[in-house]
Amino acid sequence: MRTRNRVLACASTTLIACAGVVAAPSAHAANLLTNPGFESGNLTGWSCSGGSGSVVGSPVHSGTKALAAAATASTNARCAQTVSVQPNTAYTLSGWVRGAYVHLGVTGGTAAWTPSASTYTRLSVSFTTGASQTSAEVYLHGWYGQGTYNADDISLDGPGGGDDDEAPTAPANLRVTGTTSSSVALAWNAASDNVGVTGYDVYRDGTLATSVTGTTATVGGLSPSTAYSFTVRAKDRAGNTSPDSAAVRATTQPGGGGPGFVQAAPYLYLGWGNPPSATEVMRATGIKWYTMAFILAQNGCNPAWDSQRPLLGGVDETTIKAIRAAGGDIVPSIGGWSGNKLGPNCATAQALAGAYQKVIDAYDLKAIDVDIENTDEFENPAVQDRILTALKIVKQNNPGLRTILTFPTLRTGPNSWGNRLIEQAKALDAGIDNWTIMPFNFSGHDDMYGATISATEGLKAKLKSVFGWSDAEAYAHIGISGMNGSSDVGEVTTPQIWTQIRDWSNAHHIGRLAFWSVNRDRPNWEFTRITAGFTG
């Protein structure tokens, strides 16, 4: 494919002056763009050719929204915005883009572009305005026939145009409204300005953390049990910025449960499908965790691998030791779709907790996963409650243990049995750390990326409703367990689709990513390598 170099040579007729022109000093740098992160949920401030642009919830670079613009054979999906600027002044235009041959530039001036960005990539250009220039048009576009590109967090830094030199007042009453082990939620009172406040910059320990248009923000990517200081500045369209608000301090929650628990753990099944060498796959892909399948019941309420292999003294224990010697770890999958399961075979929650404890003690586990499916467990109220109560007991008896529930889902989120499971977990105070859905087997649905995201968003909404969590808290309690290649009903998840799902999962900071299974990921372990890039 051929592309034109969009970087224009310096000419006296261009609107943007060339390098070497002395720029007037800039008193306060500010983002001059309206709706720079598309967090308004619409294209306010932007104009996209031929209706090619829209605002989407994923994939995003930060926040909850981003631009999606579809480049077809007849349009390069150009989206632009014009702002007021000052003459003879230096500006920096930057942004995060994703897609093929995405351009970011200034009309009549310079541009930057990327030939192929499978994940969000930062582009940046600097320019100096002409001697009499008072406006500049910034733009994004893809390339003809190259499909949809995404853009987020676009910034034009420098002083605004016009005669307004009055800064907004400092935001008042900055306060902490919530914390997790990896995020802090903030709110403040609106600032005032002679013309109007256009947004706020939130600083963490003196470094810009995020920009918003409203009076609330959540700063993510933080470390557990760590103190941070936050301030906020207001800004107006002319580029004037307010003084800092009064600082507020917040300490994130410990990482010992729920948010902050991150696990990339594809399934490894030693009882089926010519199982590969776990350590060879680790060396080839960088994966550290495995979900090892399956712990079932043997002779009543006794745990065993596939109902037949002992916990200790067999290939499973040998494999776990090798994984740990190589710097990794495992979480056992207890249950599954078929087989003789512990949930129905252990008569009481206490007996079931005892069975779980045998597994925990055998391997000194950091986490356990109960894969609750089918009519014998998932669609059985008594067994649901037994499992939840047993998990509550083992959490009480094993401080720091993480508990995971893996269960089926609809495209729209949990079905009635999934909703009951979540509601009962709240009622019983089970303290489940991660809710992992299996978004496949949707009767041949052909958009596996869209279906996965829709199902995950439905789970998020349910968790928020039941537990009263914020978006960030709900995402941190969520896991996705997909199926590489073809599902049982013929749906196909390609490596490209799985990469999209992983990137969305990273952008939304969910807690867990898995797939069924490494045994099927041959010959190059491509899905495992993609999963190893999950960072939560």
Q: Do domains 16-158 and 172-251 have the same CATH topology?
A: no
The fold of 263-531 is: TIM Barrel (3.20.20)
Instruction: Please state, in angstroms and as integers, the Cα–Cα distance from residue 366 to each residue in 221, 289, 361, following that order.
Output: 23, 11, 10
Average pLDDT over residues 112-134: 91
CB atoms within 10 A of CB 28: 16
Does the pLDDT of residue 14 top 60, yes or no?
Answer: no
Instruction: Please state, in angstroms and as integers, the Cα–Cα distance from residue 167 to each residue in 84, 200, 450, 501, following that order.
Output: 16, 13, 44, 43
Average pLDDT over residues 33-41: 86
Q: Which pLDDT belongs to residue 163?
A: 60
Question: Which residues lie below 8 Å from residue 498, measured CB to CB, with a gap of 6+?
Answer: 482, 484, 515, 527, 530, 531
Average pLDDT over residues 179-198: 84
Does the pLDDT of residue 224 top 80, yes or no?
Answer: no
Q: Which of 2-6, 11-15, 407-411, 521-525 has the lowest mean pLDDT?
A: 2-6
Dist. CA 296–CA 271, nearest whole Å: 12
373 is catalytic: yes
CATH code of 16-158, in short, is: 2.60.120.260
Under the banding of pLDDT at 50, 70 and 90, the label for residue 64 is: confident
Under the banding of pLDDT at 50, 70 and 90, the label for residue 53 is: very high
Note whether 153 and 67 are within 8 A (CB). no
Instruction: Please state, in angstroms and as integers, the Cα–Cα distance from residue 530 to each residue in 98, 148, 381, 500, 521, following that order.
Output: 17, 22, 37, 10, 11
pLDDT digits (tens, 9 = 90+) for 380-427: 999 999 999 999 999 888 888 899 999 999 999 999 999 999 999 999
Dist. CA 236–CA 164, nearest whole Å: 9
Average pLDDT over residues 487-511: 93
Instruction: Please state, in angstroms and as integers, the Cα–Cα distance from residue 138 to each residue in 68, 144, 211, 499, following that order.
Output: 17, 19, 19, 30
Q: Of these residues, 317, 373, 379, 526, which one is catalytic?
A: 373
Name the pTM for this structure: 0.56
Q: Which pLDDT belongs to residue 254?
A: 64
CATH code of 172-251, in short, is: 2.60.40.10
Q: Which pLDDT belongs to residue 3?
A: 27
Q: Count Cα neighbours of 111 within 13 Å in the Cβ-side half-sphere.
A: 22
The dihedral over CA atoms of 104, 109, 115, 118, expressed in degrees to the nearest 10, equals -10
Does the pLDDT of residue 525 top 70, yes or no?
Answer: yes
Under the banding of pLDDT at 50, 70 and 90, the label for residue 308 is: very high
Tokens 């609809």 found at: 410
Does the pLDDT of residue 258 top 50, yes or no?
Answer: no
Q: Which of 21-25, 86-90, 331-335 has the lowest mean pLDDT?
A: 21-25
Q: What is the mean pLDDT of the chain?
A: 88
Give the CA angle between residues 424, 420, 367 to the nearest 5°: 60
Q: What are phi and psi of 65, to 5 degrees?
A: -135, 160
Q: Which of 116-120, 278-282, 295-299, 502-506 has the lowest mean pLDDT?
A: 116-120
Length of the chain, in residues: 536
Q: Which of 90-104, 143-157, 252-266, 489-503 has the lowest mean pLDDT?
A: 252-266
Does the pLDDT of residue 47 top 80, yes or no?
Answer: yes
Per domain, the residue ranges of the chain are 16-158, 172-251, 263-531
Average pLDDT over residues 334-344: 96
H-helix or E-strand spanning residue 499: helix 495-507
